[in-house]
Amino acid sequence: TYNPIFDEDLSWDDATWILTSSFIILTMQTGFGLLESGCVSLKNEVNIMMKNVVDIVFGGLTYWLFGFGLSFGKDYSNPFIAFGWFALDANIQVMGPIFSTFLFQLSFATTATTIVSGAMAERCNFRAYCLFSLVNTVVYCIPAGWIWGSHGFLKHLGAIDIGGSGAVHLIGGSSALVAAWMLGPRLGRYENGTDPLPMGSPTNALLGLFMLWWGWLAFSSGSVFGVSGHKWKYSARASVTTINASFGGGFMGLVYSYVRTKGKFDILDLISGVLGSLVSVTGGCALFKPWEAVVIGFIGGAFACFGIPFFDWLRIDDPVGAISVHGLAAFWGVLAIGLFADGENLLNLTKGNSGLFKGGGFYLLGVQFLAAICFATWSITVTFCLLWSINKFIPIRMEAHEELLGADLVEHGIRRPGVGVSRALSALGSH
C-alpha cells in the first residue's frame, strides 16, 4: 500500500478502486478456507473453516479496536509504534479516506491472521485458537506501521513493500513457523516417513487456489492505492506482473512435481508453486518488468516447493505448507525488490532508489534484507510469547483422543458417515 494515509487528494475514483479491491481481497478468505479445508483430513474439514470465520470476527474486531491505531494512529508515534484511532470513528467530512483505508488495511490484516490457521490445523484447541485470534492482531499491526505508517523506521530508510510480501506474508509465515513448532506434529504424522498425508478434498483445495489467484490481482493492484494521476498505470502493471509471476510459479510446480514423483503431477506441488510465486511478486508488483515477474515467480515457487519437504525433514508439521508458501517465498520476495526494483518512476514509489540489477547498488538490497529480518524476528518472538501465554490458560494442543476423533466432532458436534468416527468413538468408549 503505497499511499500514506490521509492523502488529502484521495479522489472518489481512488476510493472506488480501493473499496472494490478490498471487497475482492476479502474473497481470498473463501479461498484460504477452501484450500485449508481441502488439505486437511475430512474429520477436520469444518473446524478449519470455522477458524477462518473466527479470524474475521475476532481478528477484525481487534483490528478495529486497536490494530489500525497501532499501525497508523495520529495521536502519538515514534519510529516503532503509533497510537490513536482506537475503536476507529471519523466525522463525515473526513470519513471518506479514513474508512476506505481502514477497510483495505483490514482485508490485509485478516489475511495475515488466516495464514497461521493452516499451519495449526488438525491439532489446535478451538478455544485457544479463538483467544489467539483476538491477540494476533498485534503481530501484524506493529510492523505494518514500520513499513507503511508515516512514522515507520523502515519507511524512513526507504524499504519498499507495496503489496505486503513482507508485512503480510512474511509476518504470517513466520508466525506459522512458531505455531507449528510449538504445537508439535499431528499424532502419527511422521511414523511412516515424511511424505505428505493424503488431502481430504483435492478439488476443494484447487478451488481455493483459483479463488486466491484471482483475488491476488486485487491484492497487488489495489495496493497501488488508487487510479488517479499516474497511479492507474502502476495498478495495471501490478496486475500484469502478478499474473505473470504465477506462470513462472506454476511452471516450477509442474516441473518440481514431475521430477519428484517420477512422472505424476501432485496437487499440492502445483498449488505451492503458484501461491509461492504470488507471495513473492506482490511486494514489488508495480516495480517489476513482466519478464522479471516470471523469473521472480519461478524462484518464489521453488522456495515454496522445496521448503515443504525441508520443514517436514525438521519434523515441523505444517499441514498446508504455510511456512514455505508464505514465509520462504515472502523472504525471497522482499529481497527481490532490492534486486529488480526499477528506480525511474512517476510516483516516486522507490524514493529514487533502484535495485542492485538496475544500477542502484547495494543500498536498497540491504534495506530490504533488514526489513525481512525485522519482520521475521518480530513475528517469531511475539507469536511465541502470545502462544506461550495462552497455553498457560488453555492448552493450545488438543487432547490425544480429541485429535484422533477429529475437531469436527469434538468441537462442533458433526458426525460424518464414512470417516470412521463412529468406530473410533466405540473404541474409546470401551476403555
Q: Which is nearer to a copy of itself, 27 or 194 (CB)?
A: 27
Minimum CB separation of residue 85 from a copy of itself in Å reads: 11
Q: Least distance from C-beta 378 to a copy of itself, angstroms?
A: 26
Q: Which is nearer to a copy of itself, 191 or 344 (CB)?
A: 344
Distance of CA 222 to the CA centre of its chain: 16
Of the candidates 383, 256, 254, which has an alpha carbon nearest to the alpha carbon of residue 307? 256
Half-sphere exposure of 217 (CA within 13 A, CB side): 11
Cβ closest to a copy of itself, residue 12 vs residue 76:
12
For residue 40, the minimal CB distance to a copy of itself (Å) is 11
In the complex with a copy of itself, the residue whose CB is nearer, 240 or 425, is 240
User: Smallest distance from the beta carbon of 42 to a copy of itself, in angstroms?
Assistant: 9
Measured from the CB of residue 39, what is the shortest distance to a copy of itself in angstroms?
13
The residue behind cell 497508523 is 72
Point out which residues pair with 124 in neighbouring strands. Answer: 397
CB of 243 to a copy of itself, least distance (A): 6
Instruction: Supply the DSSP string of 355-407, one letter for each residue.
Output: -GGGT-TTHHHHHHHHHHHHHHHHHHHHHHHHHHHHHHHS-SBPPHHHHHH-H
Cell numbers given for 1: 500500500
Specify the residue, 50 or 281, whose C-beta has the smaller distance to a copy of itself: 50
The stretches of 91-152 forming alpha helices (DSSP H) are 95-119, 126-148
Helix (H, G, I), strand (E, B) or coil at 124: strand
Assigned C-alpha cell, 300: 518464489
CA 8-226-1 angle, to 5 degrees, is 90
User: Closer to a copy of itself at the Cβ: 221 or 379?
Assistant: 221
Cα 64 to chain centroid distance, Å, stands at 19
- Beta carbon nearer to a copy of itself, 44 or 174: 44
Q: Min. distance of Cβ 202 from a copy of itself in angstroms?
A: 5
- As a whole number of angstroms, the distance between CA 106 and CA 222 comes to 13
Please, which residue, 349 or 365, has the CB nearer to a copy of itself?
349
- Nearest Cα to Cα of residue 105 among 147, 48, 49: 147
Paired strand residues for 83: 76
Which amino acid, 203?
T
Least separation in angstroms between CB 382 and a copy of itself: 23
Instruction: Give me the least distance between CB of 97 and a copy of itself, in Å please.
Output: 8
Rounded-to-integer distance, Cα 147 and Cα 89, Å? 24
Burial 293-315 (b: 16+ CB within 10 A, else e): bbbbbbbbbbbbbbbbeebbeee
Nearer to a copy of itself, 92 or 191 (CB): 92
